[in-house]
Chain A
Amino acid sequence: EAGVVQSPRYKIIEKKQPVAFWCNPISGHNTLYWYLQNLGQGPELLIRYENEEAVDDSQLPKDRFSAERLKGVDSTLKIQPAELGDSAVYLCASSLDGIRAFFGQGTRLTVV
């Protein structure tokens, strides 16, 4: 069984530029999460989807971050414009039961 697939693995952009991350969850997993992980910290939830519906986006900075999960499968997370403080690892995870999460390899974003 394939795991959660994320791309790209690494991204370096200049501040004020837009960036997008893509996630393909495990087949059949209706719950999808986007987490942000800063160095030396635990993952912090940005948004959670149940199928195509965003059921928890309270931690998503909506002025510059947006996410979508069309058709309830793949998801994209976008930042526009990126700021220096957005440098972090962006983790996508999916879950079958809404409790146990399976994480992708993450996208390491560096904003310069």
Chain B
Amino acid sequence: GQQVMQIPQYQHVQEGEDFTTYCNSSTTLSNIQWYKQRPGGHPVFLIQLVKSGEVKKQKRLTFQFGEAKKNSSLHITATQTTDVGTYFCAGPHAGGTSYGKLTFGQGTILTVHP
């Protein structure tokens, strides 16, 4: 079945440093989504990328979707303590009875030291 892998598993940064997490899928994705989960919280949708090579920005966050639509990245510039949490990528199956099923990566846990 489809697998979605994320690296790194953990990232510790000093406040102000940049952070990047990478996501790779074993299959081509129709789109990819990113979620953030604060400690003790639930996943919250951040963004969806649909087009090959797409780049989207949300303030200090930059999201990229690979040309082959099998990988993606999230980059945070100048991290702040509010960025702490686990960042998940998720890819939906396309077609068949599994359409709409989200397969999540294992997440990257980000800690930010003030």
Contacts and interface: CB of A to CB of B under 8 A. Distances in A.
Contacts of B100: 31, 48, 56, 95, 98-99
A42 B98 contact: no
Contact of B107 (A42, A44, A55, A101): A42
Q: Which of A40, A42, A100, A101 has the most B CB atoms < 10 Å from its CB?
A: A42
Query: Interface of chain B, helix or strand or loop or mixed?
Result: strand
A104 interface: yes
A96 B24 CA distance: 26
Contact of B45 (A31, A44, A45, A101): A101
Nearest to B44: A103
A46 B42 CA distance: 17
Interface of B: 4, 31, 33, 41-45, 48, 88, 90, 92, 97-107, 109
A106 B37 CA distance: 12
Contacts of B103: 45
Contacts of B109: 40
Q: Which of A41, A58, A99, A104 has the most B CB atoms < 10 Å from its CB?
A: A99
A45 B43 contact: no
B101 A56 contact: yes
Nearest to A108: B40
Contacts of B107: 40-42
Contacts of B41: 105
Contacts of A18: none
B106 A99 contact: no
